[in-house]
């Protein structure tokens, strides 16, 4: 069986959060998180505020995917990192515009709008934020 | 053409992808003499890029320079001949990615390499008329170069975005006037369903590129009562290096005037973004008071020409976003096999 | 709460069973457990099926009704319980609660997974369903990749070499040799592991639990039912606990600690009224070598950053300070994901019954199985105590 998780409405539902890196900030405990939802994942307070997260951060740790899931097979190998944004929020994202051998823990990166995958050659295209080394250091 | 209310540029931005392929490398694969190539190298979009993603970055840079809230932009027009969808406009995705809308006019436009400047013509009209307060015009392409064809040596990728508002002290430059010249000239075309365009070889020269830019530029200068020496910079559409240099001579411009706006030798022909990226590079360097002529050319065929005067506000605000040279200098060279992989020229089914 | 006893266990060997379907595996393991318990099929009042991905990989849901039909005991309560790779452990926990509550006298729990029909990329897509589909799977991350993030961070924070972490797999294979259910029954050299292909840097192929098909089952009974069985040995499921942690590691303060392990472990110890030092052997969820090391730390047998020492210094051997993965662990015995939690408990059962052969931990009386879902999003601890 082929395992292709493709949904058009879901891409539409999630677009604002993914296109603009929208997270949540909890007025109760002060923590920020990605993606946005109204329940704080830390203290459970219902009433987190939508925030446009900072677009710069650093690589906490990274890996290179060499055995990719379906719909990503043509892009492998590609790097995935845990990125900590300037406000402390952490996200998991692909790195781009970088040679694999040049990736370092701690390197400064910035968010860029890129294509993540296509729902097949004739399906819709899913976009989101990846991170690249700073254009200007 | 002049406008009832003067229109200026609030912000501008460009984007060129990271990767390059040297023309020598393309020549190696197809057995051409290394010396017989039109440019040094051209830009290559990465696997996760398309004309839409590049436009988003150019648009973001324009917003940074404009210092305008995204929700005040009332129109997004995107000119491209390589949109990721044949039906479903890039403009909608770009707008949402930039936080623009939904109370906006948005559409994708096609007119080969002139689509970006035609987008700009349209936005000038909407801003001048008062229909909208601010509008964004974008030219973006990931040009499709047919392997082994002449145009493979220059078909590149890039984007440029301009945010226009009514002229004020806050604008970085303003339009004195514009002129468009359009005829049915089939110099270069792509039929529905085809991957790569065709061109008519030498027919793309005099009857197409040269004629239309000549007529549009001359028409503009006549209308405004200007001559070549009144301009500090001139930017032409740049499918290679030879054509714009010749064009400059034909119209009476000299080499110094065309230098800043001519980047095709280093990044190739970015199609709908070409003249706009050249224009952006001029804006990155120009001094207040300088006058710029920008003339695009789109096959099919037509040219948009603009006369623009730089204002004082540019000196500070151009520093607010990466400059064209920041992108041009940032590069990683790839060989033909990686280039082919990136451009999806390798059959996988 | 009533006391719950594990009175029977059975399993299939773990392998790429091209000739056995998902339902064949479930039935085989269940029937072996039923026989081992010496009960009749009709004694079973409820069935708990642990499984993660029958839907995506086999197009089959409704495993409860499927197994009661295929076993030939329609009518009983039966349903699937899922918690990613902890499905087996949580299914056991559900079974436990149903007997401990007094609701049922005798129940069957079976964990099953059929993975080998799928090609690698489809399997990878199925397994990443253990993490956040919308925001993590979306990035093209694989489950191995997420663990690789932890692996690299661990090496960098504690200055530990990969070769010391990879030893965990060498350990597992040594004990897999004597486990008749194991997928791999040959020892493996460290050099072989370190030169195997990279799957997600730095994780190498032979540091990953293999892909295989298998099913394992247990029969749980209460005191009343046990008295009718006349068994020599008697093993109690003395502690059973489940805990969750954030679904994805980007929410965690410390990505090198699986908090849910500590929570579940402490709950299980408390329930069984014992302390860590009373535990004679442990089965930990080493889907990847790095996890094996981290679990030793989170269970409190080593300080953070020192778990690998226990392996290197032989303390997890069957005669070491804390015998671990005594029948091959996930790496050698195998990891048909939804079944693993039951295999682990079955192996503890074998140890406590004195049926572990060459792998026997001497005088084993208390053992536990730690089964993990996702990257610690769920951890279950099931603790067995030998009564006689």
pLDDT (mean) for B284-313: 98
Q: Give the closest-approach CA distance of A137 to chain C in angstroms.
A: 25
Within 8 A by CB and 6+ apart from A59, the residues are A81, A82, A83, A95, A103, A104, A105, A106, A107, A109, A131
CB contact under 8 A, A105 and C152: yes
CB contact under 8 A, B97 and A113: yes
pLDDT (mean) for B32-36: 93
CB contact under 8 A, A73 and C121: yes
Instruction: Name the residue of chain B whose CA is nearest to A122's CA.
Output: B85
Residues C377, C229 contacting (CB under 8 angstroms): no
Report C:244-263 residues touching A (Cβ under 8 A): 246, 248-251, 255
Task: Assign residue B59 a region (left: φ > 0; alpha: ψ between -120 and 50; beta: otherwise).
Answer: alpha
Rounded to whole angstroms, the Cα distance separating A99 from A112 reads: 16
A chain contacts of residue B49, beta-carbon cutoff 8 Å: 114-115
CB contact under 8 A, C139 and A92: yes
- List, for residues C277-303, the tens digit of each pLDDT value: 999 999 999 999 999 999 999 999 999
pLDDT (mean) for C75-100: 98
Region B7-171+322-342: CATH code: 3.40.47.10
SS3 of residue C215 by DSSP: strand
Fold type of domain C126-209+238-386: Peroxisomal Thiolase; Chain A, domain 1 (3.40.47)
Residues C167, C309 contacting (CB under 8 angstroms): no
pLDDT (mean) for A49-67: 98
Q: How confident is the model at residue C230 (pLDDT cuts 50, 70, 90)?
A: confident
Report B:1-20 residues touching A (Cβ under 8 A): 18
Answer whether residue C155 shows pLDDT above 80: yes
Terminal CA-CA length for chain B: 51
Residue B49 annotated as catalytic: no
CB contact under 8 A, C153 and A61: yes
B chain contacts of residue A51, beta-carbon cutoff 8 Å: none
User: Which residue in the list C93, C285, C295, C335 is annotated as catalytic?
Assistant: C335
Residues C146, C258 contacting (CB under 8 angstroms): no
Answer whether residue A136 shows pLDDT above 90: no
pLDDT (mean) for C29-56: 98
Report C:118-147 residues touching A (Cβ under 8 A): 118, 120-126, 128, 133-142, 144-146
Terminal CA-CA length for chain C: 21
Q: Give the closest-approach CA distance of A92 to chain C in angstroms.
A: 6
Q: Give the closest-approach CA distance of C92 to chain A in angstroms.
A: 28
Q: Give the closest-approach CA distance of A72 to chain C in angstroms.
A: 6
Answer whether residue A1 shows pLDDT above 90: no
Residues C30, C12 contacting (CB under 8 angstroms): no
pLDDT (mean) for A39-65: 98
Rounded to whole angstroms, the Cα distance separating B292 from B254 reads: 13
Q: Does ipTM top 0.90?
A: yes
Domain definitions of chain C by residue range: 4-118+211-226, 126-209+238-386
Report B:55-114 residues touching A (Cβ under 8 A): 56-57, 60, 84-85, 88, 93, 96-97, 99
Give the per-residue pLDDT at B343: 96
Strand pairing report for B134-142 and A56-65: unpaired
Q: How confident is the model at residue A137 (pLDDT cuts 50, 70, 90)?
A: low
Residue B81 annotated as catalytic: yes
Q: What is the mean pLDDT of chain C?
A: 98
A chain contacts of residue B52, beta-carbon cutoff 8 Å: 127
Structural class in CATH, domain B175-314: alpha beta
Residue B113 annotated as catalytic: yes
Report A:5-34 residues touching C (Cβ under 8 A): 5, 10, 14, 18, 33-34
pLDDT (mean) for C77-93: 98
Out of B49, B96, B326, the one facing A114 most closely (by C-beta) is B49
Out of A19, A75, A136, the one facing B47 most closely (by C-beta) is A75
Q: How far is CA A57 from CA A18, A34, A87, A106, C153, in A?
A: 17, 14, 8, 9, 17
pLDDT (mean) for C153-160: 98
- List, for residues C120-132, the tens digit of each pLDDT value: 999 999 999 999 9
Rounded to whole angstroms, the Cα distance separating B143 from C12 reads: 57
CB contact under 8 A, A66 and C199: yes
- Tell whether A39 lies on the interface with C, counting CB pairs under 8 A: no
pLDDT (mean) for B6-21: 98
Rounded to whole angstroms, the Cα distance separating C369 from B58 reads: 55
What phi and psi values does residue A18 have, to the nearest 5 degrees?
Answer: -80, -35
SS3 of residue C261 by DSSP: helix
Residues C205, C196 contacting (CB under 8 angstroms): yes
Rounded to whole angstroms, the Cα distance separating B109 from B272 reads: 10
Fold type of domain C4-118+211-226: Peroxisomal Thiolase; Chain A, domain 1 (3.40.47)
Omega within 30 of 0 (cis) for the link into B41: no
What phi and psi values does residue B303 have, to the nearest 5 degrees?
Answer: -140, 140
Chains near B with 3+ CB pairs less than 8 A apart are: A
Q: Give the closest-approach CA distance of A128 to chain B in angstroms.
A: 9
Strand partners, C223: none
CB contact under 8 A, B49 and A15: no
Domain definitions of chain A by residue range: 8-133
Q: How confident is the model at residue A84 (pLDDT cuts 50, 70, 90)?
A: very high
Q: What is the mean pLDDT of chain A?
A: 97
Chains near A with 3+ CB pairs less than 8 A apart are: B, C
pLDDT (mean) for A22-47: 97
pLDDT (mean) for B10-18: 98
Give the per-residue pLDDT at B137: 98
Residue ranges, comma separated, of all CATH 3.40.47.10 domains in chain B are: 7-171+322-342, 175-314
Answer whether residue B335 shows pLDDT above 90: yes
pLDDT (mean) for C16-33: 98
């Amino acid at each position: 069986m082929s395992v292709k998780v493709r949904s058009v409405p879901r891409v539409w539902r999630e677009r604002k959060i993914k296109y603009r890196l929208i997270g949540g900030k909890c007025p109760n405990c002060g923590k920020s998180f990605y993606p946005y939802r109204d329940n704080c994942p830390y203290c459970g307070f219902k009433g987190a505020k939508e925030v446009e997260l900072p677009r710069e951060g650093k690589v906490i740790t990274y890996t290179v995917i060499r055995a990719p899931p379906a719909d990503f097979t043509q892009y492998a190998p590609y790097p995935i990192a845990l990125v900590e944004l300037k406000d402390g929020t952490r996200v998991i994202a692909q790195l781009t515009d970088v040679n694999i051998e040049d990736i370092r823990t701690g390197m400064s990166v910035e968010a860029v709008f890129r294509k993540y995958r296509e729902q097949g050659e004739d399906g819709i295209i899913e976009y989101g934020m990846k991170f690249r080394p700073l254009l200007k250091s | 053409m002049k406008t009832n209310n003067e229109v200026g540029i609030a912000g501008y931005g460009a984007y060129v992808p990271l990767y390059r392929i040297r023309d020598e490398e393309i020549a190696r694969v197809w057995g051409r003499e290394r010396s017989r190539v039109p440019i040094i190298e051209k830009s290559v979009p990465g696997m996760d890029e398309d004309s839409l993603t590049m436009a988003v970055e150019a648009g973001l840079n324009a917003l940074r320079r404009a210092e305008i809230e995204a929700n005040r932009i009332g129109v997004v027009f995107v000119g491209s001949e390589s949109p990721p969808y044949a039906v479903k406009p890039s403009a909608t995705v770009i707008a949402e990615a930039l936080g623009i809308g939904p109370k906006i006019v948005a559409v994708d436009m096609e007119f080969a390499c002139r689509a970006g400047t035609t987008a700009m013509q349209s936005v000038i009209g909407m801003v001048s008329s008062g229909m909208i307060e601010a509008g964004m015009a974008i030219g973006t392409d990931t040009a499709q170069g047919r392997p082994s064809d002449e145009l493979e040596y220059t078909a590149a990728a890039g984007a440029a975005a301009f945010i226009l508002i009514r002229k004020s002290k806050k604008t970085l430059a303003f339009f004195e006037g514009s002129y468009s010249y359009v005829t049915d000239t089939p110099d270069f075309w792509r039929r529905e369903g085809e991957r790569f365009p065709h061109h008519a070889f030498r027919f793309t020269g005099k009857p197409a590129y040269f004629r239309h830019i000549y007529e549009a530029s001359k028409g503009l200068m006549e209308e405004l009562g200007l001559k070549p020496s009144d301009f500090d910079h001139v930017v032409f559409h740049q499918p290679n290096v030879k054509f714009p240099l010749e064009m400059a001579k034909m119209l009476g411009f000299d080499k110094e005037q065309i230098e800043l706006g001519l980047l095709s030798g280093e990044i190739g022909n970015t199609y709908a973004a070409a003249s706009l990226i050249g224009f952006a590079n001029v804006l990155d360097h120009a001094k207040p008071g300088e006058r710029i002529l920008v003339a695009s050319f789109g096959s099919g065929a037509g040219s948009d020409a603009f006369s623009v005067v730089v204002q004082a506000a540019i000196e500070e605000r151009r520093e607010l976003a990466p400059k064209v040279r920041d992108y041009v200098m940032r590069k990683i060279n790839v060989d033909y096999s990686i280039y082919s992989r990136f451009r999806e020229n390798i059959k996988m089914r | 709460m009533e006391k719950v006893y594990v009175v029977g266990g059975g399993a299939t060997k773990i392998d790429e069973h091209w000739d056995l379907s998902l339902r064949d595996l479930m039935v085989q393991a269940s029937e072996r457990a039923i026989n081992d318990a010496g009960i009749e099929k009709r004694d079973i009042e409820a069935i708990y099926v642990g499984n993660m991905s029958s839907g995506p990989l086999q197009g089959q849901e409704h495993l409860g009704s499927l197994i009661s039909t295929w076993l030939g005991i329609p009518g009983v309560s039966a349903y699937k319980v899922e918690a990613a790779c902890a499905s087996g452990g949580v299914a056991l926990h559900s079974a436990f609660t149903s007997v401990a509550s007094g609701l049922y006298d005798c129940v069957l729990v079976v964990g099953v997974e059929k993975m080998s029909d799928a090609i690698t990329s489809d399997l990878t897509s199925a397994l990443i369903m253990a993490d956040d589909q919308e925001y993590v799977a979306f990035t093209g991350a694989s489950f191995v990749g997420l663990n690789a993030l932890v692996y690299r961070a661990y090496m960098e924070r504690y200055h530990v070499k990969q070769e010391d972490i990879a030893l965990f797999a060498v350990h597992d294979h040594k004990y897999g040799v004597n486990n008749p259910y194991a997928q791999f029954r040959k020892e493996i050299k460290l050099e072989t592991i370190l030169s195997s292909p990279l799957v997600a840097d730095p994780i190498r192929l032979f540091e990953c639990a293999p892909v295989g098909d298998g099913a394992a089952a247990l029969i749980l009974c209460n005191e009343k039912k046990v008295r009718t069985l006349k068994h020599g040995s008697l093993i109690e499921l003395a502690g059973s606990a489940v805990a969750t942690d954030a679904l994805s590691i980007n929410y965690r303060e410390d990505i090198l600690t699986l908090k849910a392990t500590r929570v579940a472990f402490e709950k299980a110890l408390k329930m069984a009224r014992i302390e860590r030092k009373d535990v004679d052997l442990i089965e930990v969820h080493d889907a990847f070598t790095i996890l094996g090391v981290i679990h030793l730390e989170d269970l409190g047998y080593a300080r953070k950053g020192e778990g690998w020492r226990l392996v290197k210094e032989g303390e997890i051997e069957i005669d070491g300070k804390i015998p671990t993965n005594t029948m091959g662990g996930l790496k050698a015995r195998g990891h048909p994901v939804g079944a693993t939690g039951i295999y682990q408990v079955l192996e503890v059962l074998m140890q406590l019954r004195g049926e572990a052969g060459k792998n026997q931990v001497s005088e084993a009386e208390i053992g536990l199985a730690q089964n993990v879902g996702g990257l610690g999003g769920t951890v279950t601890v099931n603790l067995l105590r030998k009564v006689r």
